[in-house]
Structure 1
Amino acid sequence: MSETRRGGSDRGFLLHAEPWRETSLLVDAWTRAHGRLWLVAKGAKRPHSALRSVLLPFQPLHLRWSGKGERLTLTGAEWLGGMPLLSGEALWCGYYLNELILRLAPREVPHPEWFGAYETAVRALASGEPVAPVLRAFEWASLQATGHAPQWPETGPVAVPLSAEAYAAITQGAWSAPIVAREVKPWLRALIDHCLEGRPLRTRAFMKEWVTNGKG
């Protein structure tokens, strides 16, 4: 039985892109209503391709696609504008957000609230807000979206303690509170590590090395 041809369009972001054959890119996109999509951007590596200047990370896009199976063809992309490019520490933090989605989100499962949390986080990083509260908020949103966010007094399958005061900071969205750095950050990281079954996140190692080398 042949696969049904399908198409669609949605607001989205580029999570990752890699070369595909001689002139194309294989794009992992994060969309509001369709979740993660695997899209082939045909000819995107050519110098005069309309897609070449549009497919940038951390920029809101309107994407169109069609095709059969899991790997679809990107038929159009428009930059929606309104967001500065990330740089420095904010850029590394953006890559961390992307890696969390790539590692935790299955393909083609809609997560509109998680998508909204991602766009909010990217906008906050682009506007120069302190990065730590932005990362903690997105880590919590990621755990909620994937069904791994425990309800206090349960602390989940990790041995890291969490006080009532710390959980209150989470539920109130008080990500800048001092207790977040002391208690919430190690707890969230332990939960994420458990979800990843101990497989390390490359962006964490890069960020640590970047700061250690005095470039943060």
Structure 2
Amino acid sequence: MNNEWLNAYVLHRRPYRETSYIVDFFTLEEGRISAVAKGVKNSKSDKKSLLQPFQHLRLQLSGKSDLKNLRHVESVAPAISLMGTPLFCGMYLNELTNRIMPTGLASDGVYHAYEEGLTSLLQGDDIEVALRKFEFALLDEMGLLPDFTTDIEYEQPILPNCNYRFQHDTGFVCLPAEHENSKGLPGEALMSLAHGEFTPLSKKVAKVLCRDLLKPLIGDKPLKSRELFVATTKRR
């Protein structure tokens, strides 16, 4: 790793001793990894200015322990400047990645979904779609993304006019006809999600499913990005 250049984004940084930071990076080649940036905390060096979120970096690390040392860092592209709601959404992407992705697990799918999410937030695309696509990529990497095409109980295709309940560890099950007016998940929405289509209905279903599926991965500790967004919204 000493001579290997890694493509990376900063997920989080925190003070370490008097003059340094511990920085959590999300890299294409090595997944999530933490490193000490020595002597940059109180300096005006280029290295400190680069250790900010939403900027594509190249870096070199050294060390044999889980906590590496940051040797070199350079910018690949200008930082992505997010403001308002997109900024909180970008913070959410960072926090979700840091909380869920195991250390050292490289994932092309999640890394590229992360980059696409930041680009979508910058361009003003539909925020809900940007977040759901990234959440889907994370769930897929963790082996938790359900099959949106099949009723697992009867091994039949999902039907647009049926409602379904979701069973963890298995998948979608069609509700009996006598429960057709209950709060099931519309088959029409599941079929849309299977084809990557985010209609008003499928966006609602995707949000419910993602919150349910991500909850055990996130744990009981609240997400700071969500708390900050709620607090800021209340002050307006």
TM interval, shorter chain, is 0.7 to 0.9
Counterpart residue identity of residue 26, structure 2: W
| Aligned sequence identity (%) | 32
Is 1:125 matched with 2:121?
yes
Is 1:170 matched with 2:193?
yes
Q: Report the aligned-residue RMSD.
A: 2.0
Distance of aligned partners of 1:83 and 1:130 in 2 relative to their CA distance in 1, 3 Å threshold = farther
- The partner residue of 1:157 within 155, 165, 168 is 168
For structure 2, list consecutive stretches of 5 or more residues without a partner in the other structure: 153-165, 173-182
Inter-partner Cα distance in structure 2 for 1:196 and 1:119: 21
> CA shift at 1:79, angstroms?
1.1
Inter-partner Cα distance in structure 1 for 2:207 and 2:14: 32
Q: How many residues align?
A: 208
For structure 1, list consecutive stretches of 5 or more residues without a partner in the other structure: 1-5
Distance of aligned partners of 1:104 and 1:84 in 2 relative to their CA distance in 1, 3 Å threshold = closer
User: C-alpha offsets along residues 69-89 of structure 1, whole Å, 9 cap, x if unaligned?
Assistant: 101011111111145311111
Partners of 2:32 and 2:103 within 8 A in 1: yes
Partners of 2:80 and 2:118 within 8 A in 1: no
Distance of aligned partners of 1:89 and 1:144 in 2 relative to their CA distance in 1, 3 Å threshold = same
Partners of 2:117 and 2:130 within 8 A in 1: yes
Q: How does 1:68-107 map to 2 (within 5 A)?
A: 68-107=64-103
TM-score normalized by the length of structure 2: 0.81
1:3 aligned partner: none
Runs of 4+ in 1 over 4 A off after TM superposition: 158-161
> CA shift at 1:26, angstroms?
0.2
Distance of aligned partners of 1:104 and 1:121 in 2 relative to their CA distance in 1, 3 Å threshold = same
> CA shift at 1:169, angstroms?
2.3
Inter-partner Cα distance in structure 1 for 2:52 and 2:40: 12
> CA shift at 1:58, angstroms?
0.7
Larger radius of gyration: 2
2:180 aligned partner: none
Partners of 1:156 and 1:191 within 8 A in 2: no
Is 1:29 matched with 2:52?
no
